[in-house]
């Protein structure tokens, strides 16, 4: 997304609720026709953040202790946050199936966050994600096309 498109969205700060409703609708429609199993780009290029709860849940799912799981799969950042230590993700199969799907991190469940309800607050994140996720790029393109109607 170029600056011009991002700036167009930011001009709509006084129409936030209408914009959020339209983005949610668009997100739903785009993901109904998106085949994530044919893509897998997010799992191949962006390590998800993992919380302590995620670590306990996934370790249990794999039959490991949280300590062993962390040692093997988790990296701690200087700010104290945790993420997986490898891209493509250790748990991504060749068929793009996630081998820990039922226990996957919360960040994986909510990716790419375009239906999180505060579209403008996350616009910089959407801009980055559009380069990884074709669905986000499509959502932003559709929103750009409908932006003129929101402005009125």
Residues that bind ligand SF4 (CB under 6 A): 34, 36, 39-43, 48, 89, 91-92, 98, 100, 104-105, 108, 111-112, 132-135
CB 111 within 8 A of CB 104: no
Residue 152 to residue 136: CA distance in whole angstroms: 25
Q: How far is the CB of 84 from ligand SF4 (least distance, A)?
A: 7
Residue 95 to residue 113: CA distance in whole angstroms: 24
Q: How far is the CB of 96 from ligand SF4 (least distance, A)?
A: 7
Q: How far is the CB of 55 from ligand SF4 (least distance, A)?
A: 12
Identify which of residues 19 and 136 has a Cβ nearer to ligand SF4 in the complex: 136
Residue 28 to residue 23: CA distance in whole angstroms: 9
Identify which of residues 10 and 51 has a Cβ nearer to ligand SF4 in the complex: 51
Q: Give the three-state DSSP class for 74.
A: strand
């Amino acid at each position: 997304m170029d600056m011009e498109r991002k700036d167009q969205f930011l001009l709509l700060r006084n129409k936030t609720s209408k914009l959020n409703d339209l983005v949610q609708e668009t997100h739903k429609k785009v993901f109904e026709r998106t085949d994530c199993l044919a893509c897998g780009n997010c799992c191949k290029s962006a390590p998800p953040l993992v919380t302590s709860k995620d670590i306990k849940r996934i370790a249990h799912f794999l039959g490991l202790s949280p300590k062993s799981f962390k040692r093997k799969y988790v990296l701690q950042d200087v700010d104290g946050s945790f993420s997986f230590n490898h891209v493509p993700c250790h748990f991504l199969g060749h068929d793009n199936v996630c081998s820990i799907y039922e226990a996957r991190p919360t960040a994986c469940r909510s990716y790419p966050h375009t239906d999180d309800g505060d579209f403008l607050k996350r616009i910089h994140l959407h801009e980055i994600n559009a380069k990884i996720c074709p669905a986000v790029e499509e959502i932003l393109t559709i929103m750009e096309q409908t932006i003129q109607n929101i402005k009125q």
